[in-house]
């Protein structure tokens, strides 16, 4: 691996130098107003990125996975019924976590490569006349398959059924890089982490709670200590955490939020769409296909690319690392060996992306795939050279 090359894994993502420096700061008193000057702008900035006026934001020293745990343990009780679709490794892991917390998960098995089946959700919610389902889980962007789901459609399914279940959304690989609308979509809990769209090292779980989710906390009896949002809220009121906060990471997050909001959140999304579209043109020029089944579910933060039958897609990742010092993502779970992934989120430019596509091409030719050097790069160039359009 070369430290000179950008990474093209779907998280952790490349870090802007200014963010690295912001994380590397002298020790301060983490129970003082000085820390408050880092904490409160982070809470306000995250709220803006979520497009919410009222979500309560909590930031824990953890990762996205800890964000899931924060969501469920603060609002649910053992035996509570949950509705979730499984369409990739991340939705699978979230379901597994719920089961380990003694939640009763009704799983809608969904082909890997497809989005969440909102129509199926609606059917199940309509049939649940006694409203036993307490929460619906939705993975906005399945990082394993490069599939984006329509969260607005899941909200419509809940509304069409007149069902009061809460809507929990995993936005770990979408928030900060793809459009996310906490208020418009009626999201009750949104979960993300620091190391994807926010361009930071791993280490923060970032969650938003709606008023409805906040109201559910009092009756929720799942055990929680480290991830107790009540303790965290009391800490925030005194410019502190209940324990020691990762001050440097939070200082980095403050800058990351400034950078995203200064670029303009819609511009950030458009940049991701443009870069992703260039990647998709390259994939097409290579004669390969995405794992994502149709254009409406194409992710703008990661592409999972299918390789021909009998070829081990993981070899691409191995050779890229060994020969060219560049990182791509392996296939996970059901699609292990069948796809390789190009992460294209966070701090990325057209030029950086072209370097990734160029290396991917060399590796595939090295491994004997029937691909012409320069074909994918040229297709992306042709698209990028027209400038700032999606």
Query: Rule CB under 6 A: is residue 177 a binding residue for ligand PLP?
Result: no
Which residues, 325 to 384, sit near ligand PLP by CB under 6 A?
none
Q: Which stretch binds ligand PLP (CB under 6 A): 105-113, 166-174, 234-242, 339-347?
A: 166-174
Query: Rule CB under 6 A: is residue 172 a binding residue for ligand PLP?
Result: yes
Query: Rule CB under 6 A: is residue 300 a binding residue for ligand PLP?
Result: no
Binder to ligand PLP among 70, 73, 74, 143 (CB under 6 A)?
143
- Residue placing its CB nearer to ligand PLP in the complex, 83 or 97: 97
- Residue placing its CB nearer to ligand PLP in the complex, 144 or 316: 144
Query: Rule CB under 6 A: is residue 256 a binding residue for ligand PLP?
Result: no
Least Å distance, CB 36 to ligand PLP, is 26
Query: Rule CB under 6 A: is residue 113 a binding residue for ligand PLP?
Result: no
Cβ atoms 351, 344 nearer than 8 A:
no
| Long-range contacts from 46-49, C-beta under 8 angstroms, 24+ separation | 46/206, 46/208, 46/253, 46/257, 47/208, 48/257, 48/261, 48/265, 49/175, 49/176, 49/180, 49/257, 49/260, 49/261, 49/265
Look at the chain and count its residues. Answer: 390
Which residues, 183 to 222, sit near ligand PLP by CB under 6 A?
193, 202
- How would you classify the pairing of strands 104-109 and 81-86? parallel
Binder to ligand PLP among 45, 64, 201, 278 (CB under 6 A)?
64
Binder to ligand PLP among 14, 70, 139, 307 (CB under 6 A)?
139
Structure tokens at 11: 């998280």
Q: Which stretch binds ligand PLP (CB under 6 A): 59-67, 103-111, 113-121, 369-377?
A: 59-67
Query: Rule CB under 6 A: is residue 170 a binding residue for ligand PLP?
Result: yes
Query: Rule CB under 6 A: is residue 65 a binding residue for ligand PLP?
Result: yes
User: What does the binding site for ligand PLP look like in residue numbers (CB under 6 A)?
Assistant: 11, 63-65, 90, 139, 141, 143, 170, 172-173, 193, 202
């Amino acid at each position: 691996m070369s430290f000179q090359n950008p990474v093209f894994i779907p998280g952790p993502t490349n870090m802007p130098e200014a963010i690295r420096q912001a994380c590397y700061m002298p020790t301060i008193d983490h129970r003082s107003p000085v820390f408050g000057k880092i904490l409160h702008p982070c809470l306000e900035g995250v709220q803006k990125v979520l497009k919410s006026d009222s979500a309560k934001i909590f930031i824990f020293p953890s990762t996205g996975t800890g964000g899931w745990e924060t969501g469920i343990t603060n609002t649910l009780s053992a035996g509570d019924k949950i509705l979730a679709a499984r369409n990739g490794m991340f939705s699978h892991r979230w379901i597994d976590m719920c089961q380990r917390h003694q939640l009763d998960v009704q799983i809608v098995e969904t082909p890997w490569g497809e989005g969440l089946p909102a129509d199926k959700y609606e059917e199940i919610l309509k049939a649940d006349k006694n409203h036993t389902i307490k929460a619906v889980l939705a993975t906005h962007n399945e990082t394993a398959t490069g599939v984006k789901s329509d969260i607005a459609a899941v909200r419509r399914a809940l509304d069409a059924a007149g069902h009061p279940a809460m809507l929990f959304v995993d936005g770990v690989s979408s928030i900060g890089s793809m459009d996310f609308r906490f208020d418009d979509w009626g999201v009750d809990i949104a979960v993300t982490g620091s190391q994807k769209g926010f361009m930071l090292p791993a280490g923060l779980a970032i969650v938003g709670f709606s008023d409805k989710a906040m109201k559910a906390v009092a009756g929720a009896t799942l055990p929680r200590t480290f991830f107790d949002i009540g303790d965290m809220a009391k800490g925030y009121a005194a410019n502190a955490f209940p324990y020691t906060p990762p001050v440097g990471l939070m200082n980095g997050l403050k800058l990351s939020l400034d950078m995203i909001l200064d670029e303009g959140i819609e511009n950030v999304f458009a940049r991701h769409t443009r870069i992703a579209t260039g990647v998709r043109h390259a994939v097409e020029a290579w004669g390969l296909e995405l794992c994502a089944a149709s254009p409406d579910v194409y992710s703008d933060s990661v592409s999972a690319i299918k390789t021909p039958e009998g070829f081990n897609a993981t070899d691409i990742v191995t050779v890229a690392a060994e020969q060219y010092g560049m990182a791509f993502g392996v296939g996970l779970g059901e699609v292990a060996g069948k796809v390789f992934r190009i992460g294209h989120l966070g701090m990325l430019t057209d030029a950086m992306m072209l370097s990734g596509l160029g290396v991917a091409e060399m590796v595939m030719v090295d491994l004997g795939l029937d691909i012409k050097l320069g074909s994918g790069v040229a297709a992306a160039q042709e698209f990028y050279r027209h400038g700032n359009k999606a």
